[in-house]
Amino acid sequence: MQKKYKTVGESRVTISELMLPSHSNFNGKIHGGYVLSLLDQIAFACASKHSGAYCVTASVDTVDFLKPIEIGELVTMKASVNYTGHSSMVIGIRVEAENIQTGAKKHCNSSYFTMVAKDAKGKSVDIPGLILKNDNDIRRFVKSIERRKVKLSKNEEFHETDFTKEEYLHILEDQKVQIQTGS
């Protein structure tokens, strides 16, 4: 029988991986696409651990690349469930890179993935709620609610069918843009 509620700690996942030259871009830094792939994997692991079900990525709400990751650094990703709905959950992920020669660590990335639990037929399934044990758990849950409100308001704000160029031209006045119409 599945629990009705779980603590944040029960679903926390941490992975570490050494960054190899094969993971780098043309600038010699670790490719952002590779980091995104790792983020998706740990989000899946954390969400599946919490829900006890197969989970899919519904959205990548935020990915902030703060500092580049170098070849040879040990990257550690820490994921936890920040928010739970009926079948969805927000997974917060922190990425740190460590220079294994000096021991210096840097915060490289923060990300929020929305994951949805599914059954074998692809239908959404109920997931356990969260037990919030400290101020940090409460802060992360509330911040997830706030980010969700902003996301919903953005989705409502700008529909293609509602758009009239004249209504929005003033927004472009101070931008580095040229408008060319016709052929």
Q: Model confidence over 20-60: pLDDT tens digits? A: 999 999 999 999 999 999 999 999 999 999 999 999 999 99
Whether the per-residue pLDDT at 7 is higher than 90: the answer is yes
**Dist CA 57 CA 174 (whole Å):** 37
Q: Which two tokens stand for residue 117?
A: 């639990």
CA of residue 118 relative to chain centroid, distance: 19
**Dist CA 66 CA 172 (whole Å):** 28
**Dist CA 148 CA 103 (whole Å):** 37
What per-residue confidence (pLDDT) applies to 87?
Answer: 97
Q: Model confidence over 95-148: pLDDT tens digits? A: 999 999 999 999 999 999 999 999 999 999 999 999 999 999 999 999 999 998
Instruction: Assign 104 to helix, strand or coil.
Output: coil
Q: What is the DSSP letter of 21?
A: G
Could you tell me the CA-to-CA distances from 90 to 50, 93, 124, 171 in Å, in that order? 11, 10, 15, 33
* Stretch (H or E) spanning 55: strand 54-65
Can you list the domains of the chain with their CATH numbers? 5-172 (3.10.129.10)
φ/ψ (deg, to 5) at 165: -55, -45
